[in-house]
Amino acid sequence: MQYLSKSEVERWLRTEIDSVDGTLQRLNMYPIPHDAGRKMALAKGLIGYWLDWSGGGLLFIKEYGIWPTSEYMPLFDGYRRALGENRSIDEAPGYLIAEEMLEPAIAFLAMALYFMWDVILVSVADRLTIELTHDEELFAAGYDPQKLSRLQARITQYCA
């Protein structure tokens, strides 16, 4: 499991995004469900089932602390420490997603959804980027129209 500093995240994004050919297409905005069970299902779907992580990917906590009453940092920090990461979220807000380590990524995304944080997910193999915001909105963009269309059908089930 590899955590990244903000500068490492920016370098990773430049490397991965600059290497993509094609035309970027965007999906409409989808509201993130308010229900905790549906948020968990969305996190499991995005990380565990719908996206291809064989080429790796990124979960980047872009912003947090927007709604402090929605957060419980000891839960997040304790989980990171249990996985061997002692740096703070300020020091290492990124997480490289590997196909063999999806469970921690699901947990991080679920907490980010519960805590109403801004998150960016990138699947290298799918050439898809998903942004989840503290305003409980989901945006997706990608270079493969078929993969984007499949993702849209799945997102619609949870974000209607």
The per-residue pLDDT for range 1-51, each reduced to its tens digit, is 799 999 999 999 988 876 666 677 888 899 999 999 999 999 999 999 999
DSSP 70: G
State which residues form the domain around 78.
2-158
Q: Report the domain count for the chain.
A: 1
pTM of the model: 0.93
In the three-class reduction of DSSP (H, G, I as helix; E, B as strand; rest coil), residue 50 is classed as helix
Residue 81 to residue 5: CA distance in whole angstroms? 16
Residues 6+ apart with CB under 8 A from 63: 117, 118, 134
